[in-house]
Amino acid sequence: MSDKLLILVGSPRRNGNTAALADAVRKGALTGGSDVTLRYLDDHISAFLRDCRQCRGPDGECAIDDRYRSLFFDDFLPARGVIFCTPIYWYGVSAQLKAFFDRSFCYYAASYPGSQDALAAMARKRLGLVLASEETYPGVALGIIHQIQEFSRYTNSDFVGVVRGAGNSRGEVRRDPTNPVGNAQRFGRDIFSRAYSDYRLETPRSPRVWPESGLTSSSS
């Protein structure tokens, strides 16, 4: 069975730079044999998180009437890998993507009857981040990278990579000389096979990062 990959797009623009990068991830994932689902968050989220103590239904379900529940249970929880795609707005993620994280509280909070099952399914995924920004300044992405890093740590998931492209006008990211579109496509292709390491003091480790067969004659 193919690995399930979910691509979440936090931009409302279907033909913008974030969309171009997300579509490149999708194409790469298909060539890699993954079972790919791409979702635009504004198709599923119509409201921010509220006070669950006030609006949770008698059965424990969230009372906000939109498609978030199906996105969370049908797409996010079953996915082995998730790639978050967002424009950089005010040095953070889009409101749509932030709302995705916030709304998950409804289903992992102890007041939800199935919270333990939700928590278990949220954990141990392969996570990636794809960013589009107007600025090329490296620091513009650091806050977002840290947020996904901490989300990964919190959920015992593997944060395996970041792709970032620069562009302002619609689709201009394709002209970025660092080739973020190609990088995004390779990221989608390799999301489940990409090498990942995150050592702790007690982690058993090899004296080499890459196998001998990966060395070239010019290596030292």
pLDDT for 87-133, tens place per residue?
999 999 999 999 999 999 998 998 889 999 999 999 999 999 999 99
pLDDT category of residue 218 using cuts at 50, 70 and 90: very low
CA distances (Å), 77 to each of 62, 69, 142, in order?
Answer: 17, 11, 27
Q: Is the pLDDT of residue 215 over 80?
A: no
pLDDT for 133-177, tens place per residue?
998 888 999 999 999 999 999 999 999 999 999 888 888 889 888
pLDDT of residue 68: 92
The 81-87 sheet, strands edge to edge: 35-40, 4-9, 81-87, 126-133, 158-166
Tokens of 154: 């919190």
User: Can you tell me the mean pLDDT for 199-204?
Assistant: 86
Domain limits, the chain: 4-214
Is residue 192 a contact partner of residue 3, using CB atoms and an 8 Å limit?
A: yes
pLDDT for 30-87, tens place per residue?
999 999 999 999 999 998 888 888 888 888 888 888 899 999 999 999 999 999 999 9
For residues 44 and 72, give the distance between their C-alpha atoms in angstroms, rounded to a whole number.
Answer: 10
pTM comes to 0.89
Which CATH number fits the domain 4-214, given the four candidates 3.10.150.10, 2.60.40.10, 3.30.450.20, 3.40.50.360?
3.40.50.360
Q: Is the pLDDT of residue 216 over 60?
A: no
Using DSSP's 3-state secondary structure scheme, residue 8 falls into strand
Is residue 217 a contact partner of residue 56, using CB atoms and an 8 Å limit?
A: no
